[in-house]
Amino acid sequence: MAAVTLTLNNELISAREGQTLLEVIRDHGVDLPTLCHLDGLSERGACRLCMVEVEGTSRLLAACVTPVQEGMNIRTDSDRLLRYRKMLVELLLAERSHVCSVCTMNGKCELQALAVRLGIDHVRYEALHPALPVDASHGRFVLDHNRCILCGRCLRACDEVEGAHTLDVMGRGVRSRIIVDFNQPWGSSFTCTGCGKCVQVCPTGAMVARENIAGRVEKRPDFLLRILDGRQKRVWRW
């Protein structure tokens, strides 16, 4: 691929044509915050936390879905960007019931860690907390819609890696939620393979294994890359 030259935080760098800004920025040691992005899955640009400033446009661009272009001048750490990122995380916290002290993911939650990183010690917005159900019908897993941030990582893992496409999204706005098959209880699904990929990639306590409900758990979403690498190298035997 052809080389592209651009400026990142006042430093002249090079990239490969076809790369996204997020790939290039992280390749050069800048850790942009993300929630919907996960290595091994397609990009959705859903959380908007990886927004950057690009000279020549007044809009903030999501780095994960923006391809590099010759001559770009990118800024990743302005006061404006910090203000918007804090606002986005606060809105996520206000939308549903994220009470860390009673969550099995307390101390391991990506949303919680990002709030700490951004210095968020209170939420300025009115809490919505819609009354959403908890699906505990599956024999191995539990889905708590009240802790879901609709990042879509579970959907993409189920569809793109496992190939089952058991999960989808239903509803609009604050009432949007993850559904199983055609809005059936998870335990009655005929398409779910029980692989647990969706649980491992979930960044919050929305999806957890039953054995971890009463205690803290550390998820390992990086397993996706091992699976995909093994498939590419044909090391798996069917």
Task: Tell me the domains of the chain and their CATH numbers.
Answer: 3-77 (3.10.20.740), 85-232 (3.30.70.20)
Task: Please report, in angstroms and rounded to a whole number, the separation of the first and last CA atoms in the chain.
Answer: 34
Tell me which residue of 95, 17, 89, 3 sits closest to 47, measured CA to CA: 89
CA gap 61, 120 in Å, rounded: 23
**Beta-carbon count within 10 A of 193 CB:** 12
Can you list the positions of beta strands (E) in 171-220?
A: 177-180, 207-209
pLDDT by residue (tens digit) across 30-65? 999 999 999 999 999 999 999 999 999 999 999 999
- The helix (H) or strand (E) run that includes residue 83 is helix 79-95
Walk across the sheet containing 73-75 and list its strands.
11-16, 3-8, 73-75, 51-54, 60-62
Query: CB under 8 Å, gap of 24 or more: what pairs does 155-160 form?
Result: 155/198, 156/38, 156/41, 156/42, 156/44, 157/38, 157/41, 157/197, 157/198, 157/200, 157/201, 157/224, 158/197, 158/198, 160/41, 160/42
- The helix (H) or strand (E) run that includes residue 80 is helix 79-95
Phi, psi of 180 (to 5 degrees): -105, 125
CA gap 74, 25 in Å, rounded: 9
pLDDT by residue (tens digit) across 173-201? 888 999 999 999 999 999 999 999 999 99
Say whether pLDDT at 105 is over 80.
yes
Q: How confident is the model at residue 19 (pLDDT cuts 50, 70, 90)?
A: very high
| Entry pTM | 0.91
The amino acid that residue 41 corresponds to is L
pLDDT by residue (tens digit) across 86-104? 999 999 999 998 988 888 8
CA gap 100, 78 in Å, rounded: 29
Of 105-109, 123-127, 218-222, minimum mean pLDDT range: 218-222
Name the DSSP class of 165: -
